[in-house]
Protein backbone atom coordinates (compact mmCIF):
# COMPACT_ATOMS: atom_id res chain seq x y z
CA UNK A 1 0.00 0.00 0.00
CA UNK A 2 1.12 3.55 -0.76
CA UNK A 3 2.96 5.03 2.27
CA UNK A 4 1.02 8.30 2.09
CA UNK A 5 -2.28 6.37 2.14
CA UNK A 6 -1.04 4.42 5.17
CA UNK A 7 -0.16 7.68 6.94
CA UNK A 8 -3.63 9.16 6.30
CA UNK A 9 -5.39 5.99 7.52
CA UNK A 10 -3.22 5.89 10.64
CA UNK A 11 -3.86 9.57 11.38
CA UNK A 12 -7.61 9.15 10.98
CA UNK A 13 -7.56 6.49 13.70
CA UNK A 14 -5.46 8.73 15.97
CA UNK A 15 -7.79 11.67 15.39
CA UNK A 16 -10.91 9.61 16.04
CA UNK A 17 -9.49 8.36 19.34
CA UNK A 18 -8.55 11.91 20.41
CA UNK A 19 -11.96 13.32 19.41
CA UNK A 20 -13.93 10.61 21.23
CA UNK A 21 -11.79 11.16 24.31
CA UNK A 22 -12.41 14.91 24.09
CA UNK A 23 -16.21 14.61 23.99
CA UNK A 24 -16.09 12.25 26.96
CA UNK A 25 -14.37 15.10 28.85
CA UNK A 26 -16.84 17.78 27.66
CA UNK A 27 -20.16 15.99 27.16
CA UNK A 28 -22.11 19.29 27.02
CA UNK A 29 -21.97 23.05 27.50
CA UNK A 30 -24.55 25.70 28.35
CA UNK A 31 -24.95 28.49 25.81
CA UNK A 32 -26.56 31.17 28.00
CA UNK A 33 -28.30 31.82 31.31
CA UNK A 34 -31.95 31.08 32.01
CA UNK A 35 -32.55 34.82 32.20
CA UNK A 36 -31.33 35.46 28.65
CA UNK A 37 -32.79 32.26 27.14
CA UNK A 38 -35.83 31.41 29.29
CA UNK A 39 -37.32 29.12 26.63
CA UNK A 40 -34.12 27.37 25.56
CA UNK A 41 -32.43 27.12 22.19
CA UNK A 42 -34.28 26.44 18.98
CA UNK A 43 -32.50 23.44 17.40
CA UNK A 44 -30.67 24.94 14.43
CA UNK A 45 -27.16 23.72 13.68
CA UNK A 46 -26.04 26.53 11.40
CA UNK A 47 -26.78 29.21 14.02
CA UNK A 48 -24.51 27.56 16.61
CA UNK A 49 -21.84 25.88 14.47
CA UNK A 50 -19.21 28.60 14.96
CA UNK A 51 -19.81 28.59 18.74
CA UNK A 52 -19.57 24.78 18.88
CA UNK A 53 -16.34 24.96 16.86
CA UNK A 54 -14.89 27.46 19.35
CA UNK A 55 -15.79 25.23 22.29
CA UNK A 56 -14.17 22.23 20.61
CA UNK A 57 -10.94 23.89 19.47
CA UNK A 58 -10.44 25.56 22.85
CA UNK A 59 -11.23 22.29 24.63
CA UNK A 60 -8.60 20.54 22.53
CA UNK A 61 -6.10 23.18 23.65
CA UNK A 62 -7.15 23.17 27.32
CA UNK A 63 -7.05 19.36 27.45
CA UNK A 64 -3.92 18.95 25.33
CA UNK A 65 -1.86 17.47 28.16
CA UNK A 66 -4.49 14.92 29.24
CA UNK A 67 -4.92 13.95 25.57
CA UNK A 68 -1.16 13.36 25.24
CA UNK A 69 -0.59 16.23 22.83
CA UNK A 70 2.44 18.52 22.59
CA UNK A 71 0.12 21.43 21.94
CA UNK A 72 -2.79 22.83 19.96
CA UNK A 73 -2.94 26.07 18.02
CA UNK A 74 -6.07 27.63 16.58
CA UNK A 75 -5.09 31.27 15.97
CA UNK A 76 -5.48 30.91 12.21
CA UNK A 77 -6.75 33.21 9.46
CA UNK A 78 -10.38 32.78 8.41
CA UNK A 79 -9.14 31.77 4.96
CA UNK A 80 -7.31 28.69 6.30
CA UNK A 81 -8.70 25.30 5.31
CA UNK A 82 -8.22 24.05 8.86
CA UNK A 83 -9.54 25.29 12.22
CA UNK A 84 -6.78 23.94 14.44
CA UNK A 85 -3.37 22.33 14.36
CA UNK A 86 -2.89 19.38 16.71
CA UNK A 87 0.76 18.87 17.60
CA UNK A 88 1.65 15.21 18.11
CA UNK A 89 5.15 14.12 19.20
CA UNK A 90 6.26 13.43 15.61
CA UNK A 91 3.87 15.41 13.37
CA UNK A 92 1.09 17.99 13.24
CA UNK A 93 -2.49 17.26 12.20
CA UNK A 94 -4.40 19.98 10.34
CA UNK A 95 -8.04 19.64 11.37
CA UNK A 96 -11.27 21.18 10.13
CA UNK A 97 -14.29 20.80 12.44
CA UNK A 98 -17.82 20.19 11.17
CA UNK A 99 -21.04 19.86 13.20
CA UNK A 100 -24.42 18.27 12.56
CA UNK A 101 -27.50 17.33 14.53
CA UNK A 102 -27.48 13.62 15.23
CA UNK A 103 -31.28 13.41 15.22
CA UNK A 104 -31.72 14.98 11.77
CA UNK A 105 -31.75 13.19 8.44
CA UNK A 106 -28.23 13.32 7.02
CA UNK A 107 -27.75 15.36 3.85
CA UNK A 108 -24.79 16.14 1.65
CA UNK A 109 -22.82 19.07 3.06
CA UNK A 110 -20.36 21.53 1.57
CA UNK A 111 -16.92 20.26 2.55
CA UNK A 112 -14.50 22.62 0.82
CA UNK A 113 -13.96 24.90 -2.14
CA UNK A 114 -12.43 22.48 -4.62
CA UNK A 115 -9.89 24.90 -6.13
CA UNK A 116 -8.48 25.89 -2.73
CA UNK A 117 -8.19 22.26 -1.63
CA UNK A 118 -6.62 21.28 -4.95
CA UNK A 119 -3.96 24.00 -4.68
CA UNK A 120 -3.10 23.06 -1.09
CA UNK A 121 -2.58 19.40 -2.04
CA UNK A 122 -0.75 20.21 -5.27
CA UNK A 123 1.68 22.78 -3.87
CA UNK A 124 2.78 20.83 -0.76
CA UNK A 125 3.26 17.07 -1.16
CA UNK A 126 3.22 16.69 2.65
CA UNK A 127 -0.06 18.55 3.09
CA UNK A 128 -2.86 16.45 4.58
CA UNK A 129 -6.15 17.83 5.85
CA UNK A 130 -8.45 15.96 8.22
CA UNK A 131 -12.10 16.57 9.05
CA UNK A 132 -13.90 15.73 12.26
CA UNK A 133 -17.70 15.83 12.15
CA UNK A 134 -19.09 16.14 15.68
CA UNK A 135 -22.71 15.20 16.19
CA UNK A 136 -24.63 17.51 18.53
CA UNK A 137 -28.00 17.52 20.30
CA UNK A 138 -29.96 20.44 21.73
CA UNK A 139 -31.37 20.25 25.25
CA UNK A 140 -32.86 23.39 26.78
CA UNK A 141 -30.06 25.97 26.77
CA UNK A 142 -27.34 23.34 26.36
CA UNK A 143 -25.61 21.63 23.49
CA UNK A 144 -24.67 18.00 24.04
CA UNK A 145 -21.98 15.89 22.40
CA UNK A 146 -23.41 12.35 22.35
CA UNK A 147 -20.91 9.53 22.75
CA UNK A 148 -19.84 7.83 19.53
CA UNK A 149 -21.25 10.67 17.38
CA UNK A 150 -17.85 11.54 15.93
CA UNK A 151 -16.80 10.78 12.37
CA UNK A 152 -13.30 11.49 11.01
CA UNK A 153 -12.51 11.59 7.31
CA UNK A 154 -9.95 12.73 4.79
CA UNK A 155 -10.88 14.73 1.69
CA UNK A 156 -8.51 12.44 -0.22
CA UNK A 157 -10.87 9.51 0.42
CA UNK A 158 -14.16 11.33 -0.21
CA UNK A 159 -16.60 10.25 -2.88
CA UNK A 160 -15.99 13.30 -5.10
CA UNK A 161 -19.08 15.25 -6.08
CA UNK A 162 -18.50 18.89 -7.00
CA UNK A 163 -21.57 21.12 -6.82
CA UNK A 164 -21.58 22.98 -10.17
CA UNK A 165 -23.33 26.01 -8.60
CA UNK A 166 -20.55 26.86 -6.13
CA UNK A 167 -17.67 24.52 -7.14
CA UNK A 168 -17.51 23.00 -3.65
CA UNK A 169 -16.99 19.35 -2.86
CA UNK A 170 -20.13 17.98 -1.23
CA UNK A 171 -20.44 14.75 0.72
CA UNK A 172 -22.24 13.05 3.56
CA UNK A 173 -20.24 13.30 6.79
CA UNK A 174 -20.87 9.56 7.21
CA UNK A 175 -19.72 7.89 4.03
CA UNK A 176 -17.77 4.90 2.84
CA UNK A 177 -14.22 6.10 2.15
CA UNK A 178 -12.73 5.57 -1.30
CA UNK A 179 -9.08 4.87 -0.60
CA UNK A 180 -7.08 6.54 -3.36
CA UNK A 181 -3.61 7.95 -3.87
CA UNK A 182 -2.90 11.66 -3.70
CA UNK A 183 -2.42 11.80 -7.50
CA UNK A 184 -5.73 10.03 -8.08
CA UNK A 185 -7.39 12.55 -5.75
CA UNK A 186 -5.89 15.52 -7.62
CA UNK A 187 -6.88 14.06 -11.00
CA UNK A 188 -10.46 13.44 -9.91
CA UNK A 189 -10.83 16.96 -8.48
CA UNK A 190 -9.47 18.53 -11.66
CA UNK A 191 -11.82 16.45 -13.84
CA UNK A 192 -14.93 17.32 -11.81
CA UNK A 193 -14.24 20.99 -11.08
CA UNK A 194 -15.28 23.92 -13.24
CA UNK A 195 -12.76 26.31 -11.63
CA UNK A 196 -9.50 24.36 -11.94
CA UNK A 197 -7.67 25.09 -15.16
CA UNK A 198 -4.60 22.99 -15.92
- 146-174 mean pLDDT: 92
Residue 106 in contact with residue 170, Cβ under 8 Å? no
Residue 134: exposure state from Cβ atoms within 10 A (0-12, 13-18, ≥19): buried
Q: Radius of gyration (Cα) for the chain, nearest Å?
A: 17
- Domains (ranges, CATH) in the chain? 3-192 (3.40.600)
Q: What are phi and psi of 33, to 5 degrees?
A: -75, 165
Q: In the prediction, which pLDDT does 197 show?
A: 64
Determine the Cα–Cα distance for residues 2 and 30; give it in Å rounded to an integer. Answer: 45
Torsion angle in degrees (nearest 10) through CA of 62, 63, 66, 69:
-90
Q: pLDDT for 53-79, tens place per residue?
A: 999 999 999 999 999 999 999 988 888
Q: pLDDT for 121-155, tens place per residue?
A: 999 999 999 999 999 999 999 999 998 899 999 99
* Residue 160: partners with Cβ closer than 8 Å, 6 or more residues away: 169, 185, 188, 189, 192
29: left (phi over 0), alpha (psi -120 to 50) or beta: beta
pTM of the predicted model as reported, rounded to 2 decimal places: 0.93
Q: In the prediction, which pLDDT does 91 show?
A: 94
Amino acid sequence: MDSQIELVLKNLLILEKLSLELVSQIPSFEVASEKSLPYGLKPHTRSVSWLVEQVLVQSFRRNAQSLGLKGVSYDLPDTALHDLEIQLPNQNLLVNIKTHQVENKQNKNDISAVEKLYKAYLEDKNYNLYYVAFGIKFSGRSILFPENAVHCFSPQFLPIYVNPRNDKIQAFYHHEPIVRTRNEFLKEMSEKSTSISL
